[in-house]
Structure 1
């Protein structure tokens, strides 16, 4: 097991339990306690956890893995979800994307889909207009799509959060208040049948809520592991969500509850 794989596993344990003990982690990962202690020390130096006597605890009440450590989880499911979501976007539309691993995959799928889309085919823009316009508060998504000449990129202002590369705050809200979206594709940290779509961090939830308010269609993309889970901050209720794209691991009772709430579910 490489150091990166070990760190990822340690952070997964931390995200699940809120704390990690040296001996328990060493047993779970099949390495020495000394190795785990070094790993925890290095992760603490990067401010990814707080060292304690005999282990470590997570920062804050609602812990989230940094984006770079989440990208490998449920990769196959996210790729299928992203491809299905990208197929829902028509040429010439204006689509919003918030940050996250699944929406990053959606951005890549859109880039592939519209790679050969001639500008003349874009509707309703003029023939010289872009095949697609993407509005995002995610720096990594903007960087990936900025090199695609057929896609117009609009980024919000704001303060960057290093965990997710998302821009948040009044500057981001100000830009979103001036645009109109045909659709928004939202990544979330949880979908609760009673409370709706949720995020770990309140500032990100606030910007995602604005995305939803500015869009004619709201599409939530998430793997089935997040369904039925709650996070700290609410984005919007189920009544605001038009479509949920997830994987086939969704429980039948969960799909029934979402459908009863008026959310169309697409499992791929």
Structure 2
């Protein structure tokens, strides 16, 4: 069940445009630490009343601290709820998803999909696959795949993380430990040559480590904004990653370090 504040925020995010605006505000606050109401209005071209309402909603969700005349960041790396993250870098994610699906066999095959907005794009791109089984701990992905005739879905058990709508913990890990998959498709909050593949939540990371351990290969799907980032908890060492599918906005220097570490790099928007 979603927390009351999350449910309330999602109910108010009725358009993609507003969701993008809320994410833009979070980015401003994260970058500057403290932002005045007037700065938000000027940067985003919105009225003071609109900015004030958005800040109130974000403060209710405990994503910022509301101050007199503006807002302050809680801490670096604060996780953006999935309801808002799904609006970011949409075209890049669609390109990445198409590139991922092109690299899967067309015959009977088994993949594991972690939660995340890029992996959700991969799930959508599986619509025409004739015979694939997807093992996932993501409620979002299971729901997306439920109407596809050629896709069978195996869900893990576990405890629900409201921020990501993923099932985590020992029950989820035991499901991944009990199956064999051809490809683990992993979303990430960060990937770097030094820290590997990382995410904000340690329990989620442990669940995804179980997924990676039983896969014949692991492919990370992440838009360019995630390349070089390091989040709290490691999901996979860089040596466990066979391929990274990203886009041309990624930092070239960081991509070169990943290549040197043995990761095959695919720039989906240049194919």
Quickly name the TM-score band, shorter chain normalised. Answer: 0.7 to 0.9
Deviations 1:21-60 (A, max 9, x none): 3232122123343432222123333444332333334455
After TM superposition, the score normalised by the length of structure 2 is: 0.85
**How far 1:167 sits from its partner (Å)?**
1.1
2:86 is the counterpart of 1:71: yes
Deviations 1:146-188 (A, max 9, x none): 2223211011111222221111122211211211111110000
**How far 1:108 sits from its partner (Å)?**
0.7
Distance, in Å, in 2 between the alignment partners of 1:187 and 1:180 is 19
CA separation of 1:176/1:80 partners in 2, compared to 1, >3 Å: closer, same or farther? same
Deviations 1:195-235 (A, max 9, x none): 11111221221112111111011000111221111111111
**How far 1:17 sits from its partner (Å)?**
4.3
2:179 is the counterpart of 1:179: yes
**How far 1:13 sits from its partner (Å)?**
2.2
Matches within 5 A, 1:111-130: 111-112=127-128, 114=129, 117=130
Q: Which residue of 1 aligns with 2:100?
A: 85
**How far 1:5 sits from its partner (Å)?**
4.3
What's the C-alpha RMSD, in Å, of the aligned pairs? 2.1
Q: Which runs of 5+ in 2 are unaligned?
A: 1-14
Q: Which residue of 2 aligns with 1:221?
A: 221
Distance, in Å, in 2 between the alignment partners of 1:14 and 1:247 is 26
Distance, in Å, in 1 between the alignment partners of 2:103 and 2:20 is 35
Q: Which residue of 2 aligns with 1:100?
A: 116
Q: Mean Cα displacement is larger for which, 141-150 or 249-258?
A: 249-258
